Amino acid sequence: LAWHPTGRRPYLLLSASQDGTVKLWDRRAAANTGFGTYVSPPVTNNPQMFQQSTKSPTLMSWFGRNTPKTSNTIMSSNATVRTASWHCVSTYQPKCEAVRDIKWNPFIDDVFAMVTDNGMLCVYDIRFNKPLLRENAHSGEATTVDWHPTRKYTIATGGGRDRSVKVWDLESGLNIHKNEESTNNI
């Protein structure tokens, strides 16, 4: 899972899957359907407020089902009920094996990267449903991907059977650290 990294889009979430897809979820996509209802306790400094209420309020789980009355949920009678409905608004299918990791670009709001079981690095723009970049990054699986914290077009991949970490400059399209010999001690 990857939450959108900027405060400008807190309603977006990416999920990676064993079936080789990435789904984009949007909390604003549709009207309230009742799914994802949860109860949050009120903010207070009074510890007595969190004692079990004598009333039996109906609690809802994240998935919209009633919580069993035998649960150990502690709440007060004036809890706040909030609802979050998540809807899949797009599916990205790079035609690969399982997706192992996904990360949003911290500088470009619409761009994310993924790595797959077969060592593929794919970079997508959420406005388009085809990869901006599709590169055989590793021989065998790649399990992790991350964007550089200060360089907008630099990304690292690794964690696979080839025991290498590779750093990519996407602006020039080059793997800028491909020396396999230097990765033997990692």
Query: In this predicted model, what pLDDT tens digit does every residue of 122-177 receive, in sequence order?
Result: 999 999 888 999 998 898 888 999 999 999 999 999 988 888 899 998 887 656 55
Three-class secondary structure assignment of 40-54:
ECCCCCCHHHHCCCC
d(Cα 107, Cα 154) in Å, to the nearest integer? Answer: 11
Beta-bridge partner residues of 157: 145, 166
Task: Round to whole Å and give the CA distance between 115 and 100.
Answer: 6
Looking at per-residue pLDDT, the higher value among 89 and 42 belongs to 89
pLDDT score recorded for residue 62:
42
* DSSP classification of residue 182: G
Tokens of 149: 């914290």
Provide CB contacts within 8 A for 177, sequence distance 6+.
165, 166, 167
pLDDT tens string 33-81: 444 433 333 444 444 433 444 444 444 444 444 444 444 444 445 555 5
* Residue-level pLDDT at 48: 45
Q: Which residue has the higher pLDDT, 186 or 2?
A: 2
Burial class (CB in 10 A: 0-12, 13-18, 19+), 99: buried
Q: pTM value?
A: 0.66
pLDDT of residue 163: 87
**Residue with the two structure tokens 């609690």:** 59
Interatomic CA distance for residues 71 and 55, integer angstroms: 14
